[in-house]
Amino acid sequence: MIVTLTANPSIDRTVRLEQRLERGSVLRATSTRSDPGGKGVNVARVLTAAGVDTLAILPGNPGDPLLLALEEGGIPCRGVSVDGCARTNITIAEPDGTTTKINEPGPALSAATLDALAGELLHHADNARWFALSGSLPPGVPLGWYAELVVALRDHPCRIAVDTSDAPLTELADGFPRAAPDLLKPNGEELAQLTGFDSHVLEQAAEAGDPGPAIAAAGRLVDQGVVSVLATLGAAGAVLVTADGAWVAHRPPIVALSTVGAGDSSLAGYLLAETEGLAEPDRLRRAVAYGSAAAALPGTTLPRPDQLDLDAVTVTAVQPHS
């Protein structure tokens, strides 16, 4: 089983425009849709669509529209009592695929809610294969909470993946090596944030066919105790770095309709491949195929296995980061 934690879930409302977004204008939408969201929720949605035993843990009360949407979608979930309902995030999608996101902060989580969420994780720590701790932290949550959870889970047989950003990410890194997860999934900006590299240099070099800077940056995190670093680099693809090697993957040409959920889909793809016993190059291939498929879908639509193009993803082994 793969368990996901989403501390700051949301209802994701996507508005598709018939023209370019212009501030101060009256604009017309061609369509709207609402989906259960939050990074861990997105991972759980992809995993469930692939037939993997999954459980989404999140704050939510009985009758919360988010929990109802998950249940209606067949996503196994466990809500923990919280003051208030899930936030609503708005995505504005333009015809050329440009997306603008407006994210609410979410309800504050009390100490009791945090303890209950941690308790749910620990309850499954001896029978889950992976935990995916994903997304931002809402108001009231200590910035080092992810690091605390990694340390608490470390003595159990489960593996831990983390996908977050900004202060929660840097607080996690401050706890390395004890708080180092089995898998860290930064994007280019987050990888730069952790390692002091320039994010534009990382992505531009990768787009030009030189994954060296991204691999070197990821290698620094491996040196600090992270087992595997899956760094997604947008149109340039992704790199996977471990102590034993490094690989770069290039995604197929696509018409990007929305990048929402692409990174979450990449993480889900990696976890799917790992649970199937695939080696690192094929884990990276699956991750990039899922991320590319997500970017080619509108709004917060997430990919199914039959929408992948694995053969179009090229994976190449490169010199180890050391």
Please name every residue paired with 270 in a beta bridge, in sequence order, or none if there are none: none
Please, is 21 exposed, middle or buried when counting C-beta atoms within 10 Å of its C-beta (0-12, 13-18, 19+)? middle
The model's pTM is 0.92
Per CATH, domain 2-318 is 3.40.1190.20? yes
pLDDT at 321: 47
Boundaries of every domain in the chain: 2-318
Angle at which helix 199-207 crosses helix 212-223, to 10 degrees, equals: 130
Cβ atoms < 10 Å from Cβ of 192: 21
Residue 311 bears catalytic tag = no
**Sequential pLDDT tens for the chain (322 residues):** 999 999 999 998 989 899 999 999 999 999 888 889 999 999 999 999 999 999 999 999 988 899 999 999 999 999 999 988 889 989 898 888 788 989 888 889 999 999 999 999 999 999 999 999 999 999 889 999 999 999 999 999 999 999 999 999 999 999 999 999 999 999 999 999 999 988 888 878 888 889 999 999 999 999 999 999 999 998 889 999 999 999 999 987 887 777 778 999 999 999 999 999 999 999 999 999 999 999 888 777 899 999 999 999 999 999 764 4
What DSSP string describes 277-312? T--HHHHHHHHHHHHHHHHTSSTT----GGG--GGG
Three-state DSSP at 69 gives helix
pLDDT at 131: 98
Cα gap 113→11, rounded to integer Å: 20
* Active-site residue, from 35, 64, 163, 264: 264
Sign of CA dihedral 292, 297, 299, 301: negative
pLDDT at 320: 60
Strands of 183-184's sheet, edge to edge? 77-80, 54-59, 2-6, 130-134, 159-163, 183-184, 228-232, 238-242, 246-250, 314-318
Phi/psi at 68 (5° precision): -65, -40
For the record, the structure tokens of 94 come out as 């333009």
Cα gap 44→38, rounded to integer Å: 10
